[in-house]
Amino acid sequence: MGIYEELVARGLIAQVTNEEEIPDIYKQEVVSIKVDKKGIADKFHFTGFLKGRNVYEMLAESDVYMMPSVSEPFGISPLEAMQMGVPSIISKQSGCAEILNNVIKTDYWDIDAMADAINSIVTYPAMYEQLREDGLNEVNQITWDKAGAKVIDIYRKVLSNYNF
């Protein structure tokens, strides 16, 4: 049974002719079925929304965190992953890409680059450890005091231009 037939059999969608016709809300189901058919379903967690302690429990079981966001204004979840020592992959288009350095950044549409990044992290222990350690150090340097000081500095610079 093919992916589309399986989606239809599960009652999730009507018959479609190609993947582009599948509504976005079922794309995760398509990926889940593909992963299952390749026999690697035990390597992936498709959790949906998590909150509280569940986030940290899932991250503690993870080797890699990936946020292939098209447009995430900031995205705190990569910080949570880094805080747990989980090497992270984010899209260059996400807001946090502007401030995070010790992550792998790919274009959100470049699934080959994402797959290469995942493979590299899990294949090369030195890369895994480097991203893990540097990510932990980086995220531990991010504090509200430092963020607040930057905002105050910006206000001072703006006000100095107006001779206040």
Answer yes or no: do 34 and 89 share one domain. no
Q: Measure the CA angle with vertex 138, ends 133 and 141; round to 5°.
A: 130
CATH number at residue 137: 3.40.50.2000
Residue 84 lies in domain: 48-164
Q: At residue 106, what are phi and psi to the nearest 5 degrees?
A: -130, 165
* Arithmetic mean of pLDDT, 146-155: 92
* Arithmetic mean of pLDDT, 111-129: 90
Tokens of 28: 């995760």
Answer yes or no: do 6 and 60 share one domain. no
- Sequence letter at residue 68: P
**Helix residue ranges, H only, 24-161:** 27-37, 53-60, 77-83, 111-123, 125-141, 144-161
pTM of the predicted model, to two decimals? 0.70
Distances (CA, A) of 115 to 4, 68, 111, 112: 23, 11, 6, 5
Tokens of 42: 């035990």
Answer yes or no: do 34 and 102 share one domain. no
Per the DSSP assignment, residues forming a β-bridge with 65 are 88
Tens of pLDDT, residue by residue over 66-117, are: 888 877 777 788 999 999 999 999 999 888 898 899 999 999 888 888 888 9
Answer yes or no: do 54 and 31 share one domain. no
User: What is the pLDDT confidence band of residue 2, given thresholds at 50, 70 and 90?
Assistant: low
Answer yes or no: do 62 and 28 share one domain. no
How many domains does the chain divide into?
Answer: 2
Distances (CA, A) of 5 to 8, 14, 26, 148: 5, 9, 13, 53
Answer yes or no: do 136 and 103 share one domain. yes
Tens of pLDDT, residue by residue over 11-42, are: 554 444 455 555 555 566 666 777 677 777 67
